[in-house]
Structure 1
């Protein structure tokens, strides 16, 4: 009886093209409706060898479901269906990537990506934003050729062709239409709205910039207060940190130019400074057109952390060297030094506005040990002159006033002439700068080589004879020049002679008179306005 009933029901279900198990009212859209609350469907259990192999079937049949009981090749335990060309595993929630994350993953076998030669794309609002290319490159798309990486990075960018690169927390966060900016680090260029062509690398570099253009800030807090300044370069931690409006400044080295423009509410001329060296220009607040090169060059004593020391305003200084011009607070000064020495002790000091250049050390031209020479380091006394020793040393010396001979000789007593030749007895001098006149032997002895000018004359009392009187210059015992003339027979006799001669040191010059006939006994006057002998070295 039961068998007959089953066959009747089965026939009825088949006639209606529906089969219901556990229900008398199968779903009209289902060919087979299994209804139960405490049992399941047990699929055929088979052993698959590979997803591409149909075995244990004779061929792939689309829609076939089986349960694979083992792991082999690229298949593992689980439910598989056949798509007509291969076996496909049904993934459970435990094996898919869930919205709230997965557990029990293995980085060597679990991944997000593709297994064919196709890029992986990520979309938001159904617009492609990120693409991982098959060659390993990562492309960001539909961001106006910009790259934003980090929380808040480029958050307000208008996504037109701004060509910005913002990497880091809030990097470029406020930017809307600023172009060609590059920022790397936390809060770099975070306030920028329209500034262009800026580069900020390091935490808070250019963080306050709003509209400033073409600035380069590398280092934590570099140009961090800059809002509108442009064309500045800061390389190093806190370089140009306080700059707000200044333009064209260059600071290289930690803390270089750190307080420039500090606290200014309006644009003051703090432009075109160059600070190179850690701490260089660290006290300059309102300064322009200075060049400081060296550790702490022009640094002063201001401490931004404790707001102690003195802020300085300077223009047009050049400080070169370690701590050069450290305490200088003036303008238009030059220091070349490697310590904090002042203007009186720096190696080189200068004043551009007064055209002063000074060295506080020995000044050398060439190497004095070879062919050069060195100048003295102190000034001389009045009327001293610089003299070289020919071996590299130059010193102050008293002017040698005896270099050129100058002599005036005369007689202290009248001299009576004899017939023939005799030396005029010049036995005293009115002046003899080099002490070259020998008053004992009545002659001049040259002290150095050179050219000399001689002049001599003598006069007698009144004479009535007609004797010839000759005046002669002798050099080294030989006549060099002579003047002779007959007396007219009445009045005083006066004879004069002059000559230029080249002498060597120790050459001897004297004057003689030659008389003849009745001239003997004539008296030569000793009046120095009438009888004298003058000698001058002219070169």
Structure 2
């Protein structure tokens, strides 16, 4: 009889053990839906004490947790030097990680701002490598995009938006570069505006230029006070000054100064002439060294190469003139 009782107790023990091992725990419910299921006293109208209190700490432990505690959660009270909030142990990084998210740009992996990011003169950079060499003074720059303004040190009041826009800029100021590689090579040029794919790409020290469109003023290095609007407008300009071109390929090869060009392919061929005005498709297309000419109309003065002081108005006006001067 005693032996049977002993066997019965052993069987009962293992049944309880198995039940305990595979059971789910419910608090506030008799039908738990997970290993630990905690219910509020009233889901619709909960009480102030419905919730879970995570262990509170003022500082992190002197000794780091181990892999066994990976994901362990604590609540920092803020009474110490650590910011208040929930933290978990990230064993792969060997650090306590906040789960509250980023509060400042500096908290972002690809974000950066001067000092603490709260000063009126702070720069703001968003993008991997953007503004990475900035000297953190209050220079009021804005760089958005991969390595935008990546080389900038002390240049101020610049805006760069686009992949590697204003990448090489170090001391240049008051520039606006918008687009893929816009003003990529600029080092010290000031007061330039570039908007478009590789607009003002080669500019290093040129100032007060405006390029709007695909590769406008692409080769400009040190030219100043130029305005180029349109696909490849003033593409080969390097050191020219005071030119205005509007239109696809307008003033494409420019070495001259103070020319005004409006129209597709107008004044397109290698041009070192100065003070010319060309308005219309292919107007003064072939001009190389002619000066002080006025051509208004499609193909007007189209063949002119060296002629100067000519005025041609109308479709194909003076189209055959090559080096004649003082014609009207």
Taking the TM superposition and a 5 Å limit, the aligned residue runs for 1:200-219 are: 200-219=177-196
Whether the aligned pair in 2 keeps the contact of 1:78 and 1:90 (CA below 8 Å) is no
Equivalent residue for 2:266, pick from 264, 272, 297:
297
Aligned residue pairs total 251
1:320 is the counterpart of 2:279: yes
Corresponding residue of 2:82:
none
Whether the aligned pair in 1 keeps the contact of 2:296 and 2:314 (CA below 8 Å) is no
**Structure 1 residue 331: deviation in Å?**
1.4
Corresponding residue of 1:248:
225
Whether the aligned pair in 1 keeps the contact of 2:25 and 2:37 (CA below 8 Å) is no
Q: Note closer, same or farther for the CA distance 1:298–1:98 as it changes in structure 2 (3 Å cut).
A: farther
Q: Deviations over 1:101-145 (max 9, x none)?
A: 9xxxxxxxxxx966xxxxx5457xxxx8349xxxxxx99672452
Equivalent residue for 1:70, pick from 5, 22, 32:
32
Whether the aligned pair in 1 keeps the contact of 2:127 and 2:145 (CA below 8 Å) is yes
How far, CA to CA, are the matches of 2:250 and 2:21 in structure 1?
83
Taking the TM superposition and a 5 Å limit, the aligned residue runs for 1:3-14 are: none
**Structure 1 residue 175: deviation in Å?**
0.5
Whether the aligned pair in 2 keeps the contact of 1:226 and 1:242 (CA below 8 Å) is yes
Q: Deviations over 1:460-492 (max 9, x none)?
A: xxxxxxxxxxxxxxxxxxxxxxxxxxxxxxxxx
Identify unmatched segments of 5+ residues in structure 2: 1-17, 41-47, 56-68, 74-87, 93-97, 318-328
TM-score, normalising length: structure 2:
0.65
1:193 is the counterpart of 2:170: yes
Whether the aligned pair in 1 keeps the contact of 2:26 and 2:38 (CA below 8 Å) is no
Corresponding residue of 2:242:
272
How far, CA to CA, are the matches of 2:193 and 2:250 in structure 1?
18
Taking the TM superposition and a 5 Å limit, the aligned residue runs for 1:424-443 are: none
Corresponding residue of 1:333:
293
**Structure 1 residue 47: deviation in Å?**
2.9
Taking the TM superposition and a 5 Å limit, the aligned residue runs for 1:5-84 are: 46-48=25-27, 55=28, 70-71=32-33, 77-78=35-36
How far, CA to CA, are the matches of 1:226 and 1:242 in structure 2?
7
How far, CA to CA, are the matches of 2:300 and 2:311 in structure 1?
19
Corresponding residue of 2:134:
157
How far, CA to CA, are the matches of 1:85 and 1:298 in structure 2?
81
**Structure 1 residue 94: deviation in Å?**
7.1
Q: Note closer, same or farther for the CA distance 1:360–1:200 as it changes in structure 2 (3 Å cut).
A: closer
How far, CA to CA, are the matches of 1:99 and 1:351 in structure 2?
76
Taking the TM superposition and a 5 Å limit, the aligned residue runs for 1:358-369 are: 359=313
How far, CA to CA, are the matches of 1:312 and 1:100 in structure 2?
66
**Structure 1 residue 185: deviation in Å?**
1.2
Q: Note closer, same or farther for the CA distance 1:336–1:98 as it changes in structure 2 (3 Å cut).
A: farther
**Structure 1 residue 343: deviation in Å?**
6.7
**Structure 1 residue 339: deviation in Å?**
2.6
Secondary structure class of the residue paired with 2:52: strand
More helix by share: 2
Identify unmatched segments of 5+ residues in structure 1: 1-38, 49-54, 57-67, 102-111, 115-119, 132-137, 262-267, 301-310, 345-349, 364-539
Whether the aligned pair in 2 keeps the contact of 1:81 and 1:89 (CA below 8 Å) is no
Q: Note closer, same or farther for the CA distance 1:360–1:178 as it changes in structure 2 (3 Å cut).
A: closer
Secondary structure class of the residue paired with 2:250: coil
Corresponding residue of 1:391:
none
Q: Note closer, same or farther for the CA distance 1:337–1:145 as it changes in structure 2 (3 Å cut).
A: same
Whether the aligned pair in 2 keeps the contact of 1:79 and 1:90 (CA below 8 Å) is no
Corresponding residue of 2:324:
none
How far, CA to CA, are the matches of 1:175 and 1:140 in structure 2?
13
**Structure 1 residue 241: deviation in Å?**
0.5
Q: Note closer, same or farther for the CA distance 1:274–1:70 as it changes in structure 2 (3 Å cut).
A: same
**Structure 1 residue 86: deviation in Å?**
3.3
**Structure 1 residue 162: deviation in Å?**
1.2
Equivalent residue for 1:224, pick from 180, 201, 204:
201
Taking the TM superposition and a 5 Å limit, the aligned residue runs for 1:389-468 are: none
**Structure 1 residue 244: deviation in Å?**
0.6
How far, CA to CA, are the matches of 1:183 and 1:280 in structure 2?
26
Q: Note closer, same or farther for the CA distance 1:272–1:163 as it changes in structure 2 (3 Å cut).
A: same
Q: Note closer, same or farther for the CA distance 1:86–1:203 as it changes in structure 2 (3 Å cut).
A: same
TM-score, normalising length: structure 1:
0.41
Corresponding residue of 1:85:
49
How far, CA to CA, are the matches of 1:150 and 1:45 in structure 2?
47
Q: Deviations over 1:282-338 (max 9, x none)?
A: 121x211000100111012xxxxxxxxxx3311100000111110122111111121
